[in-house]
Amino acid sequence: MADAGPPSPTLATASPGGFMTIRGKRTFVATAMLVHVLGVIPTDVRADQHGPSAGTSMAQTAPGILPTGFGEPVDRDVAALRAATAHFRDPGEAVRAGYPAVEACIAHPERGAMGLHYTHPGLTDATLEVERPEVLVYERLDDGTLRLNGVEYIVPIADWPRSEPPRIMGQDLKRASALGIWYLHVWNWTANPSGLFADWNPDVKCRE
């Protein structure tokens, strides 16, 4: 993703080149993390009833996700991440663990959506750990339940004095200067046709 320009929360139309819709707020922003800058207030949180029970065994049950195609080290990281975040398939567990709920959903007019970003403020620093992602990314389904689709790793630019970008899972984090962060999405629970580390998932929707 190219370096994001200044946030424009009152644009009237979406630009296919880089802006997105926050469904429910009717606001257009530069990147997903602006959800947290806008301070959206959460509403009800209901557990996803559509997947199997959370558990370590699901780390090895990942059609379309494992193997990743990025080699064994990344496969091991994704399996470890799935095991570490399995209990967060219940969003109530995420809230209790320090990931505040939000109701705004991030969508792109052409590329799909990201979803709802639950960000843990206590983890947002210069340290990246595979099993402790800064953000959990959910999707609200047609029946109102929430499904955990992936995670996002974040490092504040102010906390990273090095010239090279932070890295995790063999990937450079992407820079969003307007938001003051480095970031990387990982679709470790829902397969993404655009790629494991893509920003947008064409199969994910923002529902009213």
Give the model confidence (pLDDT) of 146-194 as tens digits.
Answer: 999 999 999 999 999 999 999 999 999 999 999 999 999 999 999 999 9
> Does 208 fall in a domain?
no
Residues in contact with 4: Cβ distance below 8 Å, sequence separation at least 6, in sequence order:
18, 30, 31, 176, 177, 178, 179
> Does 197 fall in a domain?
no
Residue-number span of the structural domain to which 44 is assigned: 20-186
> Does 193 fall in a domain?
no
Residues in contact with 199: Cβ distance below 8 Å, sequence separation at least 6, in sequence order:
1, 32, 111, 114, 174, 185
> Does 63 fall in a domain?
yes
pLDDT reading at 21 higher than 80: no
> Does 47 fall in a domain?
yes
CB environment 123-148: b (16+ within 10 A), e (fewer): bbeeebebeebbbbbbbbeeeebbbb
Residues in contact with 162: Cβ distance below 8 Å, sequence separation at least 6, in sequence order:
none
* Count of domains observed in the chain: 1
Quick: pLDDT tens for 72-110.
Answer: 999 999 999 999 999 999 999 999 999 999 999 999 999
> Does 192 fall in a domain?
no
> Does 161 fall in a domain?
yes
- What is the structure's pLDDT at 40? 35
- What is the structure's pLDDT at 48? 39
> Does 205 fall in a domain?
no
For 102, 126, 133, 146, 163, the CA distances from 77, given in Å and listed in that order, are: 27, 19, 12, 24, 25
Dihedrals φ, ψ of 155, to 5°? -130, 125
